[in-house]
Amino acid sequence: MLVIQGNLNFSKAKQYFQLAKKFLNNQINGDNFSNSYLTLYGGTDFEVAAMCDQESLNLAYFLKPNPCMVRDLFEEVFNSCKTFRRNLDFDETFSDRRDLDNCVGRLLLKLL
């Protein structure tokens, strides 16, 4: 399932790329980025579950290994967003924003 989830996330590279660009260009703030990223990333689980329930032929497509798979980086940004959101409830710190910027920057470079 991890291969399918990773490849499905990679298939959404354009959406992740546009979101990362907006964030790094300060067109959206960390809160908006985190919400959008968590929604996009979290939606993958639902899509995979729906494909399994329907025994979709799309599963076979997403089982193919993707040489550019960046599953670990997607997950790192996901975890960074969760940390940012959790800390935002208390007080956004400069280091939270910097960590999020760094993760998103690496993702953007990898998706180019």
pLDDT beyond 90 at 27? yes
Q: How many domains does one find in the chain?
A: 1
* pTM score above 0.95: no
Which tens digits make up the pLDDT trace of 32-45? Answer: 988 898 888 888 87
Q: Give 40-45 contacts, CB < 8 A, sequence gap 24+.
A: 40/12, 40/15, 40/16, 41/9, 41/74, 41/77, 41/78, 41/81, 44/5, 44/8, 44/9, 44/12, 45/5
Which tens digits make up the pLDDT trace of 62-110? Answer: 666 555 557 777 888 888 888 877 766 666 555 677 888 888 888 877 7
What is the pLDDT, as a whole number, of residue 61? Answer: 60
What is the pLDDT, as a whole number, of residue 59? Answer: 64
Question: Which residues form the domain of 24?
Answer: 2-111
